[in-house]
Amino acid sequence: MADNGTFHQQLIGKLRALIRSEDFAPGSQFLTEREIAQRFGTSRPTANKALSSLVSAGLLEMRRGAGTFVRDSVLDYDLERLVSFTDKALAAGRKPGTRLIEYRKLAASDGPPDVVQCLHVGPKDPLIYMERVRLADERPVIYEQRHVVVSLCPGMTRTAAKGSLYKCWTEKCGLTISGAEEIIHAVNATTTQAAHLQIPVGSACFQISATGFVSGGGPLWHEKTLYRADVYEFRNRIGGLSSGAAAMGRIVGPSIA
């Protein structure tokens, strides 16, 4: 059988199924290039390409001199671009879910002053406030508090908040998401946060404070989102040292609750 794009995707699908099977527990050694090539009737370069794709997706990890191993239950956060949690979970072979805790409309004057300032809205402008817990295979992994500018997405509903917001905003509301500004802190989970994420109080977490923007429309949302540190890791690839432009970022003090 000739190696092509379709076969490559089929091979990745078969390898994903193997990773999720009882034959390969987290931490166990996975098949080698040679074993994959022999088992699925393909070339070693194609087997290597499939393994590399699964490493990039966070399902496998390469250990120098030891081989390829099934990763423990860890999800990646992409620091270079916005990626839907739903899409990321599916790509990692997980079943995504959402538990909607609260969804209501309020006047901006009733919202937190720092949020109102970030969203560039007037005191009478309506906002949507929501609290959600995102689930991966029914396991709570993210606790989210978010304010959204109603005028930019009047078609948004409570039902939409139970799924992918990016999908709602781009497909239903016709918006183009242009990016977001994020600040990441290391924090300890409060009593409320720990209860939502089903972790001990004081557990280590990543907190992202972010403002998201749409093309030509200014800020669309502001969020404070908590990620379980035992489930998530943050990855990024950066270039070499540059003596030209100043660094895009800042150092902040510790934010441990």
For residue 79, being part of any structural domain is answered with yes
Q: Decide if pLDDT at 257 tops 50.
A: no
* Residue type at position 62: M
Strands lying side by side in the sheet with 96-107: 96-107, 126-136, 139-149, 218-228, 204-214, 177-188
Which pLDDT does position 140 carry in this prediction? 93
Q: Say whether both 85 and 198 belong to one domain.
A: yes
Average model confidence (pLDDT) across the chain: 85
Domain count, the chain: 2
Annotate 85-99 with b (16+ C-beta within 10 A) or e (fewer).
Answer: bbebbebbbbebbbe
Q: Say whether both 45 and 140 belong to one domain.
A: no
Q: Say whether both 91 and 23 belong to one domain.
A: no
CA–CA distances in Å: residue 56 to residues 91, 194, 237, 250: 10, 30, 12, 28
Sign of torsion over alpha carbons 172, 174, 178, 180? negative
Q: Say whether both 189 and 110 belong to one domain.
A: yes
Q: Say whether both 83 and 44 belong to one domain.
A: no
Q: Say whether both 167 and 195 belong to one domain.
A: yes
For residue 130, being part of any structural domain is answered with yes
Q: Say whether both 122 and 212 belong to one domain.
A: yes
Q: Say whether both 157 and 80 belong to one domain.
A: yes
Q: Which CATH number characterizes residue 99's domain?
A: 3.40.1410.10
Q: Which CATH number characterizes residue 37's domain?
A: 1.10.10.10
For residue 93, being part of any structural domain is answered with yes
* Residue bearing the bigger pLDDT, 39 or 57: 39
Q: Say whether both 107 and 63 belong to one domain.
A: no
For residue 248, being part of any structural domain is answered with no
User: Could you tell me the residue range of the domain that residue 56 belongs to?
Assistant: 5-70
Q: What end-to-end distance do the CA atoms of the chain give, in Å? A: 58
Q: Say whether both 55 and 84 belong to one domain.
A: no
For residue 252, being part of any structural domain is answered with no
Q: Say whether both 125 and 218 belong to one domain.
A: yes
Alpha carbon 54 to chain centroid, angstroms: 17
- 22-54 pLDDT tens trace: 788 878 899 999 999 999 999 999 999 999 888
Q: What percent of the chain has pLDDT over 70?
A: 84
d(CA 167, CA 183): 24
